[in-house]
Amino acid sequence: MMATRAKKPRRPILKKPSNPSLRDPVGVYCRVRPLSRPEQECCIEVISDTTVQMHPPDGYRIFRNGEYRETQYSFKEVFGTLVVQKKVFDVVAKPLVEDLIRGKNGLLFTYGVTGSGKTHTMTGSPGDGGLLPRCLDMIFNSIGPFQAKRFVFKLDDKNGVDVQCEVDALLERQKRDVMPVPKPTPGKRQIDPEIADMINVQDQCKVEEVDEDNVYCVFVSYIEIYNNYIYDLLEEAPFDPIKPKWNNCNTPVRNGDFIPPQSKILREDQNHNMYVTGCTEVEVKSTEEAFEVFWRGQKKRRIANTQLNRESSRSHSVFIIKLAQAPLDADGDKVLQEKEQITLSQLSLVDLAGSERTNRTKAEGNRLREAGNINQSLMTLRTCIEVLRENQMYGLNKMVPYRDSKLTHLFKNYFDGEGKVRMIVCVNPKAEDYEESLQVMRFAEMTQEVEVARPVDRPLCGLTPGRRFRNQAFQEELSRKLEMRGGPVDAETEEQSVLETILQNFPPLPACELLDINDDQTLPKLIEVLEKRHKLRQMLIKEFSKAVLTFKTVLQEFDCSVASKENYIKGRLSEKEKTIAGQKTEIERLEKKIKTLEYKIEILEKTATIYEEDKRNLQQELESKSQKLQRQASDKRRLEARFQGMVAETTMKWEKECERRVAAKQLEMQNKLWVKDEKLKQLKAIVTEPKSDKPERPSRERDREKPVQRSVSPSPVPNAPPVRLRHRRSRSAGERWVDHKPPSNLPTETVMQPHVPHAITVAAASEKALAKCDKYMLTHQELASDGEIETKLIKGDVFKTRGGGQAVQFTDIETLKQESPTGRKRRSSPSHPDPPEDAAESEWTDVETRCSVAVEMRAGSALGPGYEHHAQPKRRKP
C-alpha cells in the first residue's frame, strides 16, 4: 500500500486590519467634457453641484404618457465643462494622497465611453496637468525633506519591503554607479520638453501633518491589461505597440523578427493581497523622475485610431505608487531595523479603456477583438459591483466573480476593505453617445450603493516624538563647540597650522659641528638652546593640560546636562508609560464593556426578533379573527334580512288567508240566510197561493245532468229555449297568452265565452308555458250571493325573475255572470220596502269587477287556496 501524504496545514490569514462596523460608500464623481463643436446637440445638463439631467435627443425620444422621459442622476459631486483640473484634484485625489502618506491604500479609476475625457482627466495636457502628476507633486512636496537615501528600502519579490543598513545601501549605490546605465544627475534634472508643461505645477500642495520621525521612499510601477493579459510597460525589452502578433490560442508567438513582451501573472501575498509578480518597480526621488518613468511607459501603451477617437486606448492602464515608511531609531539618526515597523501603502491610478459599440467604431480584426475584451472586462466589473450591492443590501452571501477578469481580480482587495475607492465617471454630452452614457450613469448609480470597510489607523511605534529635530540640534551644537575649541572641522589644515606655529615658536638650533677639540662655545650654545626648548615644551604641556582639564570640565557639564535631560525624558517617558498603561487598562475595561454590551445587544436583538415574530403571528391571528367576525356579521345581516322577508311574506300570506277565510265564512253565512229566506218564501207562497198557480219543480234528471261540486241555486229560467252560443272576445286578445283553466271548473251555458287566440291552454301553470308567453290568464269560478256561478278572468304580465324563474304580476280582473231576469236580489235589510228592480241591481254587488292595485308575486308563491297560477322552477342538481 502507498502511504498517504499528510496534508499541509493551511497558513493562517493575516489580513490588514479593517473596521467592518464602519463603512464608507464608494465615492462616485461625474465630469462632463465640453462639446467638440458648438453646433452639436447636447443631451446632458448639469442642474446642480451634485445632479445631472439626461434628456433623450430628437432621434432617441422615449415616450411616457405622451411625453419624452427625462432622467436625473445624483453623485457626490458633479464637475461641469468649465471646471479646471485643480478643482477635480482637490476634491477627488487629494484625500487619497493624504491617506497614502498616513499608511492607507487608495484606488482611483476613471470610467466612461470612448472619447469622454478619461485619459485627459488622469494625465492632463501640456500646461494643464491631470490627477497623476498632481498626486506625484503633492507626495514629494510633503515628504521631500524626510526621504531616505537610495536603496535603504528594498522591495522583495513577494509584495513586501525590507530595510537595509547604511553599508548595504552604500554598496548598492556603488554597484549602480559602476553599471553603464544613465545615472540621475543631482540637482535640477533635464526634463523632456514634451512633458515639462504637464508637471510644472505651480500649486505647492502638500500634506500638513507628516510624521517627521519617519523616513520615506517612493516606488512606481506601470502596467496595462490588454486582451485580459497583464504587461509591464516599464520592462526593457523589444516592443512594438502597433503590430503585435498572436496565434490561434490568443497568446503571443515568437519569431526572428519580433519578440513580444511576456505577460505577467497575478499572485497573492501572505496577507492575501493581489500583486503582479515580476513587475518592474522603480525607486524615484522627485516628481520629474517619477513622471519621466510614467511617460516612458505611456509611450508603450496600446492606442489606436477608431471612428470615435483618434487616440483610443485599447487597454486598461494601472499606475501604482507605493510609499514605504519606517521610523527612526531612539537617537533619531538611523532607520529602525525592524521589518514589523515598516508601513507599505499604495495608490493605484487606473485609466480604464472606454466601452464602445463596434457598429459605431467600425472595428475589424484586432480592433474588434480588443473591443470585445474591453467590453467583457467592464461587464465583469459591473457584475462584481452588482453582486457586492446585493450581498450588502439583502444580507446574501453570493460569490463575487473577481476571477472572471484580470482587472477585477487585481483590485478585489480594495472592495474587500483594504482601502478607499473612488471613481470618476466621464461623460460626453453629445447626442450620439446618449445610449452608452445612459448605461454608464446606471452603473455609476449602482456603484454608489456599495460600501467598503474603513481601514483602521496604523499603530504607534512607541518611540519619543521629535527625535529627528533633537538629533539635528545636537549635531549642530556639537559642531559649533568643536569649531570654537579647534574641533575636527577642517581637521587636516587646522592640524598643519598648529604644528607650524609651534615649530616657529621654538628657537632655532645652532651649528653643531665641532672642528676643534678645544672648542668650548658650540656645546654651551647648544645646551642653552635645548634648555630653552625644554622650558617651552614644559610650558606647552602645562597649557595642553589646562586645555584638557577645561575640555573635560565642558564635557562633564555636557554629560551632566545630557544626563539631566535623559532623566527628564525618562521621567516623562515613565509618566507617558503610566498614562499608556492606564489607557490600556481603560481600553481593556471598555472592550470588556463593549463585549458585554454586544452580548446584551445580541440577546435583545434575539428577544426583539422573537417578539416581532409573536407580533406578526398575533397580527395574523387578529386579522383572521377580524375577517371571521366580519363574515359572521355579514351572515347575520343576511339572515336577519332573510328572516324579515320571510316574516313579512308569511304575515302578508296569513293576513290574506284570514281575509279570504272571513270572506268565505261571510259568504257561507249569507248563502245559508238566503236559503232560509227562499225556503220561507216558498213556504209562504205554498200557504198563501192556490195550488193551480204553483209552478212545476224542475225534474231531477235535469239536475243530474249538471254535476256541481259547490252548492248552486237552480237556474231561474229552467224552460228557456236553446240559444246559439256566442263567444265574447277578450279585451287583451292581441298578445300571446297562457290560458290557465283548472280541471275543477264547470262548463257554463252562457252565450258569451272567453276566447283568446294563439293561447296555450294548460290545466296547471308550468315554467315552460310561462317562458313562451308574455301574458297570463286564470279562469276562476265561485258561487255568487244569488246562488249562480260567477266566472272571473284574472289577468297578469309574465316576466323573468333574478333567480331564473318566471313571475306573474296581476293587472286586471274580468267577471262573467249569468242572472235570471225574474229573480230577486237579497236586500241588505228586510225592513225597508222593495226598491225598483233597476235600483236593486245597482245596489247589490258581492265581488269587485276590476282590481285597481297590481299584486307582484314571486315564483312559487300562492295568492290563495284557488289561485295556483305560478310556475315552479326546476331544482338544479348541485
DSSP line for 792-842? EEEEEEEEE-TTS-EEEEEEEEEEEE---TT--PPPS-TTSPPPPHHHHHH
Point out the least confidently predicted range of 100-114, 158-172, 274-288: 158-172
d(CA 207, CA 201): 16
Mean pLDDT, the chain, rounded, equals 77
HEC per residue, 582-645 = HHHHHHHHHHHHHHHHHHHHHHHHHHHHHHHHHHHHHHHHHHHHHHHHHHHHHHHHHHHHHHHH
* Per-residue confidence (pLDDT) for residue 191, from 0 to 100: 61
Angle at 447 between CA 31 and CA 402, to 5 degrees: 120
For the segment 403-414, the average pLDDT, to the nearest whole number, is: 91
Q: Is 407 exposed, middle or buried (0-12, 13-18, 19+ CB in 10 A)?
A: buried
Whole-number pLDDT of residue 178: 62
Which grid coordinates belong to 515? 672642528
DSSP assigned state of 735: S
Asked whether the predicted pLDDT for residue 828 surpasses 70, the reply is: no
Print the SS3 string covering 404-469. HCHHHHHCHHHHHHHCEEEEEEEECCEHHHHHHHHHHHHHHHHHCCCEEEEECCCCCCCCCCCHHH
Contacts 24+ apart (CB under 8 A), 431-436: 431/40, 431/41, 431/42, 431/43, 431/57, 431/58, 431/59, 431/60, 432/360, 433/43, 433/113, 433/115, 433/116, 434/43, 434/54, 434/56, 434/57, 434/60, 435/60, 436/113, 436/355, 436/356, 436/357
**Quick one: what percent of the chain has pLDDT higher than 70?**
72
Using DSSP bridges, classify how beta strands 106-112 and 343-351 pair: parallel, antiparallel or unpaired: parallel
Residues 6+ apart with CB under 8 A from 568: none
Please report the pLDDT score of residue 3 as a whole number.
42
pLDDT digit string (tens) for 257-282?
A: 445 678 899 999 888 889 999 999 99
pLDDT at 751 over 80: no
Distance (Å, rounded) from C-alpha 484 to C-alpha 473?
Answer: 17
Q: Which long-range contacts (CB under 8 A, 24 or more apart) does 838-847 make?
A: 844/785, 846/667, 846/784, 846/785, 846/790, 847/782, 847/784, 847/790, 847/792, 847/815
Residues 671 and 785: their CA atoms lie apart, in Å, by 6
CA 450 to chain centre: 9
Are 801 and 828 a contacting pair, CB within 8 Å?
Answer: no
Question: Quick one: which H or E segment has residue 150?
Answer: none
What is the full DSSP assignment across 10-29? Answer: PPPP-PPPEEEEEEEEPEEE
Under a CB-based contact definition with an 8 Å cutoff, are residues 467 and 328 in contact? yes
Give the least confident one: 48-52, 444-448, 460-464, 700-704: 700-704
Cα–Cα distance for residue pair 75/427, rounded to 1 Å: 13
CB 825 within 8 A of CB 844: yes
Of residues 814 and 179, the one with the higher pLDDT is 814
For residues 867 and 810, the model is more confident at: 810
What local confidence, expressed as pLDDT, does residue 386 receive? 93
Per-residue pLDDT at 306: 60
Statement: residue 94 has pLDDT above 90 = yes
* pLDDT over 80 at 710, yes or no: no
pLDDT tens per residue across span 623-669:
999 999 999 999 999 999 999 999 999 999 999 999 999 999 999 99
**Given a cut of 70, is residue 193 above it in pLDDT?**
no
Whole-number pLDDT of residue 351: 92
CB atoms within 10 A of CB 409: 19
Closest CA to 334 of 156, 167, 91, 119: 167
Q: Distance between CA atoms of 496 and 504, rounded to whole angstroms?
A: 12
Grid cell listed for 825 = 236580489
Q: Does 612 or 836 have the greater pLDDT score? A: 612
210 vs 187, more confident: 210
Q: How far is CA 782 from CA 198, 524, 794, 818, in A?
A: 126, 202, 13, 12
Burial 110-146 (b: 16+ CB within 10 A, else e): bbbbbbbbbbbbbbbeeeebbbbbbbbbbbbebbeeb
Least confident stretch, 10-24, 294-308, 859-873: 859-873
Residue 323 is predicted with a pLDDT of 95
Judged against a pLDDT cut of 50, whether residue 54 lies above it is answered with yes
pLDDT, average across residues 713-724? 41
* Per-residue model confidence (pLDDT) at position 856: 40
Label residue 21 by pLDDT band (50, 70, 90): low
Spatial neighbors of 159 by CB under 8 A, at least 6 apart, are 267, 269, 273, 275
First to last CA, the chain: 79
pLDDT tops 90 at residue 321: yes
Q: Burial-class residue 173 by CB neighbours within 10 Å (0-12, 13-18, 19+).
A: middle
Q: What is the pLDDT of residue 443?
A: 92
What are the tens digits of pLDDT across the range 343-395?
999 999 999 987 766 555 555 556 677 777 888 888 999 999 999 999 988 88
Q: What per-residue confidence (pLDDT) applies to 364?
A: 58
Distance (Å, whole) CA 43 – CA 437: 10
- The CB density around residue 22, as the number of other CB atoms within 10 Å, is 11
On whether the pTM is more than 0.85, the answer is no
**CA neighbor of 199 nearest in space, from 273, 140, 151:** 140
Label residue 471 by pLDDT band (50, 70, 90).
confident
- For residue 696, the model assigns a pLDDT of 47
Is the pLDDT assigned to residue 64 strictly greater than 70? Answer: no
| Lowest-confidence region among 469-483, 719-733, 779-793 | 719-733
Strand partners for 274? 268
Give the lowest-confidence range in 129-138, 247-256, 541-550.
Answer: 247-256
The least confident of 327-336, 530-539, 584-593, 826-835 is 826-835
Query: Which range is least confidently modeled, 316-330, 441-455, 734-748?
Result: 734-748
pLDDT at 104 over 70: yes
CB count in 10 Å sphere of residue 52: 23
> Rounded to the nearest 10 degrees, how much is the dihedral formed by the CA atoms of 864, 867, 873, 878?
30
DSSP at 340: G
Rounded to an integer, the average pLDDT of 65-69 is 56
By percentage, how much of the chain surpasses pLDDT 90? 33
- The cell for 438 is 445612459
**3-class secondary structure per residue, 634-687:** HHHHHHHHHHHHHHHHHHHHHHHHHHHHHHHHHHHHHHHHHHHHHHHHHHHHHH
pLDDT average, residue stretch 296-300: 87
Largest CA distance in the chain: 249
For residue 29, give the C-alpha cell: 464623481
CB proximity list for 318: less than 8 A, separation 6 or greater: 222, 223, 224, 225, 348, 349, 350, 410
Pick from 821, 756, 752, 828: nearest CA to 791: 752
